[in-house]
């Protein structure tokens, strides 16, 4: 028998727009705002601290790396806590951590303090998406799971657009205060959110081991599942971390007359990403397959990447338009995190779902390092192509060989 249409009954809408789903979406909105804010204010904030052009480049890269290291460490900490103490503890703790860190960033007066605060913010930012997706996945009926998690990500990713305009309209310190203030306001909304029933069921089983991060590496089957989940996400951050972030370099290499602004590229990328994420849930529901939905979007991204690098783009408007399409293509971000949550049992689900996206984010450091290494011997375009080839090869292999999780019952445990 086919799955019920997601909008055939009033109860479906009530599920999709329930308080946990809305709060998870708003939480991810604030998370994305704060995650991308430093990338957007990097140059003006460091210039106002008195740094030279050379220092802005080197110190800015160092601060961004510290934020990414914080994401990696935070992903493990919050993931383990989510399985040991509950999904809600992470949703409360993570947003409090990064909201206070962002407010403090608005008062920063030197690069060292800035670096420490972005590291703390990174730790806090790591918990939001995984815990939110895990909670929504466990609360919603399985036939609505893909649509629900796509709503969370689709709405959440619009935080990038608000971040861009908040910096356009206000100074960088005010932008940090806005992000921190939104986070504190969201804490009040979360008071009415209830814990996942699936988690509460296993919490009562005192003998059961929960949140053991190292158990992901001690079992061959689990490790392969985990690595494939990470592999699926590599093309997403290749687009964000290389093609969008270094878009000014690609624009110069393409001889586009108008200077390309990385901040604007990131904004257009995230607008596409938001639309893609909203679409991917419905696509998965329609195809009755997570794998087919992700594979289709990944192949679309590959085609757009080839056009981006070798299509002979010569105007800024065409360039930004293609970045928008690239963003749409990587709109399987929520779907890939959902697959990660569905691959693992309840006693390890939050650990997996929270660490997987942050491991992918952490690979940006490797991508940028490779990109820089290739640029010593090859052109910017060729260097981007080499890194992209590696990311897409791993991504396509991972999605083609991972097990299907559409309509999987999530009330199971990892032995």
For 235, residues 6+ apart whose C-beta sits below 8 A from its C-beta are: 298, 301, 302, 330, 388, 391, 392, 395
Q: Which residue has the higher pLDDT, 406 or 273?
A: 273
Q: What percent of the chain has pLDDT over 90?
A: 24
Q: What percent of the chain has pLDDT over 70?
A: 87
Written as six digits, the tokens of 28 are: 């991810």
C-alpha distances (whole Å) from 158 to each of 1, 64, 226, 357 are 36, 21, 28, 18
Give CB contacts under 8 A, 24+ apart, made by 246-250: 246/371, 246/380, 246/384, 247/319, 247/323, 249/380, 250/308, 250/309, 250/380, 250/381, 250/384
**104: confidence class by pLDDT, cuts 50, 70, 90:** very high
Query: What's the rounded Cα separation, in Å, for the pair 265 and 285?
Result: 30
Query: What's the rounded Cα separation, in Å, for the pair 41 and 336?
Result: 29
Q: Which residue has the higher pLDDT, 129 or 386?
A: 386
Is the separation of the CB atoms in 313 and 250 below 8 Å?
A: no
C-alpha distances (whole Å) from 285 to each of 148, 154, 390, 398 are 11, 16, 30, 21
Which one is the CATH code of 18-195+213-401: 3.30.420.40, 3.30.460.10, 1.20.1250.20, 1.10.1760.20? 1.20.1250.20
pLDDT, tens only, 295-312: 999 999 999 999 999 998
pLDDT, tens only, 3-62: 445 445 557 666 666 777 787 788 888 888 888 888 788 778 888 888 877 777 778 778
Please report where in the chains the tokens 């592999």 appear, as a residue: 231
Question: Among candidates 170, 26, 45, 158, which has minimal Cα distance to 99?
Answer: 26
**3-state class of 98 per DSSP?**
helix
């Amino acid at each position: 028998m086919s799955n019920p249409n997601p909008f055939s009954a009033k109860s479906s809408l009530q599920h999709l727009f329930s308080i946990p789903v809305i709060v998870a979406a708003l939480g991810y909105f604030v998370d994305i705002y704060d995650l991308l804010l430093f990338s957007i204010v990097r140059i003006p904030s460091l210039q106002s601290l008195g740094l030279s052009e050379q220092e802005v480049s080197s110190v800015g890269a160092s601060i961004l790396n510290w934020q990414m290291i914080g994401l990696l460490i935070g992903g493990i900490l919050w993931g383990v806590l989510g399985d040991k103490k509950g999904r809600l503890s992470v949703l409360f703790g993570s947003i409090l951590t990064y909201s206070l860190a962002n407010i403090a960033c608005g008062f920063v007066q030197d690069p060292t303090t800035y670096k420490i605060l972005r590291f703390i913010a990174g730790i806090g930012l790591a918990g939001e998406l995984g815990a939110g997706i895990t909670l929504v996945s466990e609360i919603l009926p399985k036939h609505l799971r893909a649509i629900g998690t796509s709503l969370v990500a689709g709405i959440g990713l619009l935080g990038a657009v608000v971040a861009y305009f908040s910096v356009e309209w206000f100074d960088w310190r005010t932008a940090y205060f806005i992000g921190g203030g939104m986070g504190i306001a969201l804490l009040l909304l979360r008071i009415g959110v209830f814990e996942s029933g699936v988690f509460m069921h296993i919490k009562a089983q005192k003998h059961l081991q929960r949140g053991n991060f190292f158990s992901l590496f001690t079992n061959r089957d689990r490790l392969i599942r985990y690595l494939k989940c990470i592999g699926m996400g590599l093309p997403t951050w290749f687009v964000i971390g290389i093609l969008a972030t270094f878009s000014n370099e690609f624009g110069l290499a393409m001889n586009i007359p108008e200077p390309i602004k990385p901040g604007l590229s990131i904004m257009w990328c995230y607008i596409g990403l938001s639309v893609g994420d909203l679409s991917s849930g419905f696509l998965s529901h329609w195809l009755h397959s997570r794998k087919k939905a992700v594979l289709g979007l990944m192949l679309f991204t590959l085609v757009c990447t080839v056009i981006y690098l070798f299509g002979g783009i010569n105007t800024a408007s065409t360039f930004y338009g293609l970045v928008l399409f690239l963003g749409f293509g990587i709109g399987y971000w929520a779907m890939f995190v959902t697959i990660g949550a569905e691959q693992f049992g309840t006693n390890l689900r939050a650990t997996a779902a929270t660490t997987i996206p942050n491991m992918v984010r952490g690979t940006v450091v490797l991508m940028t390092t490779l990109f820089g290494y290739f640029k010593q011997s090859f052109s910017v375009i060729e260097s981007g192509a080499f890194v992209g080839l590696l990311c897409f090869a791993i991504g396509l292999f991972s999605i083609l060989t991972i097990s299907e999780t559409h309509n999987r019952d999530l009330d199971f445990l990892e032995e």
